[in-house]
Amino acid sequence: MSDGRLLSVKMRASREGEHVSGAERIVSPAAAPETAAALVRRALEHSKGTPDFIALKVAETGGVLRIKALPVATEAATTPSEGLAIAERLLREAGVQRACEVIEMIVDAKPMRGAMLVDADTLERLEPDRARGVRATCMDAAGTQGRLPPSSKNHYAEAIVLASKVAAAPGIIAEICISDDPCYVTGYVASRATGYHRITCMKENGDGRGGRIFVCRGIAGDTSETIRFLEETPVLVEDIPALEGMRREERFAGIERELDAIRSSGLWRETRIMEPHHGPFAVLGGREVAVLASNDYLGLAKDPRVMEAAAEATRRFGAGTGGARLTTGTQPLHAKLEERLAAFFGSDAAVAYATGYMANVGAISALAGKGDVILSDELNHASIIDGCRLSGADVVVYRHCDMDDLAGKLSLCGGCRRRLVVSDGVFSMDGDIVPLPRLLDLCSQYDAFSLIDDAHAVGVLGATGRGTAEHFGCPRADLTVGTLSKALGSEGGFVCTSKKLADCLVNRSRAYIFSTSPAPASVGAAIEALRILEAEPDRVEKLRAKTACFAAELRNRAIAAETQTAIVPVAIGDERKAVSVAARLLERGFLIPAIRYPTVPRGKARLRVAISAAHDSATLAAAAEAIAVSSS
């Protein structure tokens, strides 16, 4: 069968001179433009980071050689030494008597773009450029010439093509490969004699070293024909075996390796059982501790009136609603809550969600989609980031609270269908505040929608706890997201906005449409909490005074502490140190958690203290002293 004209499309990406990603295809001319675009996209989205240089090469292939894929087998290994022993045996079966030394060579290999070309009998290295190695290129799977490349690397699919071509090269009798991807521990040994043997563990998880060796015989005098075949002869590989399902143990061994990596980098997490006690105290492991970690900023979660409202709502309306808002899940309480929220925040309408997370995910993905652009602060909460991802819009991240950077980026988005700027009102990890007036100015200047997540601002900022807009004395964003779960002591999220945008959320927000409506207890409690906040605004002032007093106690002990909100971060840095400081604090009777990657960047671990209006001054002073002692 003739292939018609085929083009080779190659992409190579690097950053600061270091290789980031590379991929190639052989495709029909019609598929070439989209293939090129897809490969560039793949480079830009590579997990190793954004490249600063991408080279794209599109060339005629000339006559294409078709070869059959090697047969595939999988060898289960659970440790690197087990895997390397299997590799050694397979190399020997392929005729490499000095297999043991070849294994040593690959384990000690320096990073290279290509493979070592090693003589089976003398172990002499034959590649002309030892730093680069020999590269096998100009190959692809047969039957995919009109198809787009997959959006991310499929290790097996690419390796079987490469290994099949290499095995067909003149003089090559075997190949061994270990990926340089830190998370990919499966490697292989391949040869015409034995086929392609995947070996499920060739190195420790997290190890970024890898390498390839092409073992040859009889070409030491002249390697040019072999190298020309590897680098220039276009090859399509036919009948690539579908990967048989991995055995169950190996599937779970992969999970175990991931968990081990989390453990060994100090990032392990697990739940702990806390029994609420009086006020901001809890019983943990049989002992009473002061909790300086709760988002119950105003102590309303345990206010008897709020608790009774929850109980009363349950008695009247049931434990659950049994339906989504647009089916059977809207009860009188839900309508009342939304009315009260809109009135309290001075907006036309409010839409309630089951959680704050869902409010962000739901609102952002309802408002922005393909063809739109979302501008998002780099320190936004995970729920905002997830909403951006789910929306399918282009996401442009601007520097934290940097309005000049935002202005510059907005000025480049004029041609997009819709622009949406999203930011936390109060940033959850540092407790700092968005420069809202400037952000709103930019939104009107550049005709963008604005969404502010006031989860940590409601009940905290502004004279009466109405959030960032009240704090600055400026108008509200187009959408203000808030939560019922923090200062309001209940559970759930909401969006305050215009009638039109509320209609948009109700009709388009999948997190709203496809989840069961909030339980009557949560809604009843939230309505009562909102009533109390409105009737007793001095609670907000009390919280502010408590926070100021705690920050002063820290500063008296030479610990930097600055905050305008109820969140007081105490910088530590190293993840493991942060965890051990938190453990010492717990021994002293204070629950103050260590916040680590991925919640904050690596190396920026910290203690995160959250103050409540319910804390007493003696407890706060004692906590400051315990922090000073435990972190020194």
349 close to 476: Cβ distance less than 8 angstroms: no
Place of tokens 């060579």: 105
Segment holding 432, helix H or strand E: none
Angle, helices 332-345/520-535, rounded to nearest 10 degrees: 30
Point out the residues that are catalytic: 428, 456, 486
Contacts of 123 (CB under 8 A, 6+ apart): 98, 101, 102, 105
Nearer to ligand WAQ, 136 or 341 (CB): 136
Residue span 181-220 as binding mask against Mg ion, x where in contact by CB under 5 A, dash where not: x---------------------------------------
| Contact string 239-278 vs ligand WAQ (x = CB under 6 A) | ----------------------------------------
Measured CA angle at 181 (ends 179, 183), to 5 deg: 110
Q: Does 234 bind ligand WAQ (CB under 6 A)?
A: no
Q: What is the CA radius of gyration of the chain?
A: 30
If one asks whether residue 211 binds ligand WAQ (CB under 6 A), the answer comes out as: yes
Among 112, 298, 582, 627, contact with ligand WAQ (rule: CB under 6 A): 112
Specify the stretch interacting with ligand WAQ by CB under 6 A; choose among 56-64, 111-119, 268-276, 522-530.
111-119
Torsion of CA 566, 572, 577, 579, to 10 degrees: 10
Rounded CA separation 594/238 (Å): 54
Q: Is 210 an interacting residue with respect to ligand WAQ (CB under 6 A)? A: yes
The closest alpha carbon to 439, from 395, 471, 476, belongs to 476
121 is an interface residue for Mg ion by CB under 5 A:
no
Q: At what angle do helices 356-367 and 499-508 cross, to 10 degrees?
A: 100
The only residue of 61, 186, 360, 612 in contact with ligand WAQ, by rule CB under 6 A: 186
Q: How many residues bind ligand WAQ (CB under 6 A)?
A: 23
Q: Please, are residues 423 and 467 in contact by the beta-carbon 8 Å criterion?
A: no
Task: For residue 260, state whether it binds Mg ion (rule: CB under 5 A).
Answer: no
In the bound state, the residue with its beta carbon closest to Mg ion is 180
Contact 458, 487 (CB under 8 A): yes
Point out which span in 178-186, 407-415, 478-486, 521-529 binds Mg ion (CB under 5 A): 178-186
Q: Identify what 312 binds: ligand WAQ, Mg ion, none; CB under 5 to 8 Å per kind.
A: none
Residues contacting residue 565 through CB under 8 Å, at least 6 positions apart: 426, 431, 432, 433, 456, 457, 460, 461, 547
Please tell me the distance from the alpha carbon of residue 435 to that of residue 430, in angstroms, as a whole number.
14
- If binding is defined by CB under 6 A, does position 115 make contact with ligand WAQ? yes
Which of 121-125's residues contact partners 24+ apart within 8 Å by CB, and which partners? Answer: 121/97, 121/217, 122/220, 123/98, 124/220
Stretch that binds ligand WAQ, among 76-84, 176-184, 466-474, 581-589 (CB under 6 A): 176-184
Per rule CB under 6 A, is residue 114 in the interface with ligand WAQ?
Answer: yes
The burial class, CB within 10 Å (0-12 / 13-18 / 19+), for 1 is: exposed
Taking CB within 5 to 8 Å according to partner kind, which of ligand WAQ, Mg ion, none is near residue 574?
none
212 binds, among ligand WAQ, Mg ion, none (CB under 5 to 8 A by kind): ligand WAQ
Which segment (175-183, 305-313, 315-323, 469-477) binds ligand WAQ by CB under 6 A?
Answer: 175-183
The reply on whether position 569 binds ligand WAQ by CB under 6 A is no
Single out the segment in contact with ligand WAQ by CB under 6 A; choices: 2-10, 45-53, 174-182, 451-459: 174-182
83 counts as binding ligand WAQ under rule CB under 6 A: no
Query: CA 82, CA 202: separation in Å to the nearest integer?
Result: 8
The set of residues, in sequence order, having a beta carbon less than 8 Å from that of 84 and lying 6+ positions away, is 103, 107, 202
Question: Cα–Cα distances in Å, from 70 out to 7, 165, 202, 443?
Answer: 24, 9, 20, 58
Interaction of residue 203 with ligand WAQ, rule CB under 6 A: no
198 contacts ligand WAQ (rule: CB under 6 A): yes
The item of Mg ion, ligand WAQ, none sharing an interface with residue 177, based on CB under 5 to 8 Å by kind, is ligand WAQ
508 binds, among ligand WAQ, Mg ion, none (CB under 5 to 8 A by kind): none
Window 119-158: contact mask with ligand WAQ (x via CB under 6 A):
--------------x-xxx-----------------xx--
Q: At 498, is the secondary structure helix, strand, or coil?
A: coil
Give me the least distance between CB of 106 and Mg ion, in Å please. 14
Per CB under 6 A, which region of 186-194, 312-320, 368-376, 495-503 contacts ligand WAQ?
186-194
The residue (of 189 and 434) whose beta carbon lies closer to ligand WAQ is: 189
The minimum distance between CB 209 and Mg ion, in angstroms, equals 11
Beta strand pairing call for 7-15 and 594-595? unpaired
159 is a contact residue toward ligand WAQ (CB under 6 A): yes
DSSP-assigned letters across all residues of 303-324: -HHHHHHHHHHHHHH-S---SB
What's the min distance (Å) between Cβ of 23 and ligand WAQ?
Answer: 10
Report which of 375, 482, 611 is spatially closest to residue 470, judged by C-alpha positions.
482
Separation of alpha carbons 613 and 463, rounded Å: 15
Q: Are 378 and 406 in contact (CB under 8 A)?
A: no
Give yes or no for residue 180 binding Mg ion (CB under 5 A): yes
- Interface size with Mg ion, residues (CB under 5 A): 2
Residue 166 to residue 138: CA distance in whole angstroms: 11
Regarding 180 and contact with ligand WAQ (CB under 6 A), the answer is: yes
- Compute the least distance from the CB of residue 156 to ligand WAQ, in Å: 4
Chain residues that interact with ligand WAQ, rule: CB under 6 A: 112, 114-115, 133, 135-137, 155-156, 159, 162, 177, 179-181, 184, 186-188, 198, 210-212
Chain residues that interact with Mg ion, rule: CB under 5 A: 180-181
